[in-house]
């Protein structure tokens, strides 16, 4: 199951590309001239997002729970973790009620895992975050 925001971003990018290309009857060179600025803009937006993730601390993330994640995990991932934490009041530690959906779809800790961290007074560990959310640069691995 894809996340709605991911689908929206992909559809938006696809729509921009279709608009930029116009009709499909053009040469490779003409297509490249139209596509290249879109790719450069996307590249710039991604780099800006990484920079923001490295330096910006969201108000909801100032808690002790997030001390190992801030500056090492994307803001998008932190937003998803915050949403999952809000489920604590009605899910608790029951894996059946939790469903562990965010763990399976995003590689982020689910609510029942985060409850265990709270009970043991530990922050959310960086190693329970999928590596894709910890990649905050465009350098080769």
CB-based burial label for 36 (10 Å; 0-12, 13-18, 19+):
exposed
Tokens of 67: 């001390």
Q: In this structure, are residues 76 and 56 in contact, taking their beta carbons and an 8 Å threshold?
A: no
Dist CA 47 CA 52 (whole Å): 9
pLDDT digits (tens, 9 = 90+) for 37-71: 888 888 778 777 767 766 666 655 557 788 888 88
Mean pLDDT over each residue of the chain, to the nearest integer: 77
pLDDT per position as a tens digit, 106-139: 999 988 888 888 888 899 999 999 998 888 776 6
Higher-confidence residue of 5 and 79: namely 79
């Amino acid at each position: 199951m894809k996340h709605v925001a991911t689908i929206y971003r992909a559809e938006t990018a696809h729509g921009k590309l279709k608009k930029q290309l116009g009709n499909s009857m053009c040469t490779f060179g003409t297509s490249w001239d139209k596509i290249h600025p879109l790719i450069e803009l996307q590249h710039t937006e991604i780099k800006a997002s990484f920079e923001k993730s490295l330096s910006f601390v969201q108000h909801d993330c100032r808690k002790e729970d997030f001390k190992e994640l801030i500056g090492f995990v994307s803001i998008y991932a932190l937003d998803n973790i915050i949403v999952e934490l809000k489920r604590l009041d009605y899910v608790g530690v029951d894996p059946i009620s939790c469903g562990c959906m965010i763990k399976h779809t995003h590689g982020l800790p689910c609510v029942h895992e985060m409850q265990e961290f709270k009970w043991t007074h530990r922050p959310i560990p960086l190693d329970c975050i999928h590596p894709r959310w910890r990649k905050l640069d465009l350098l080769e691995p």
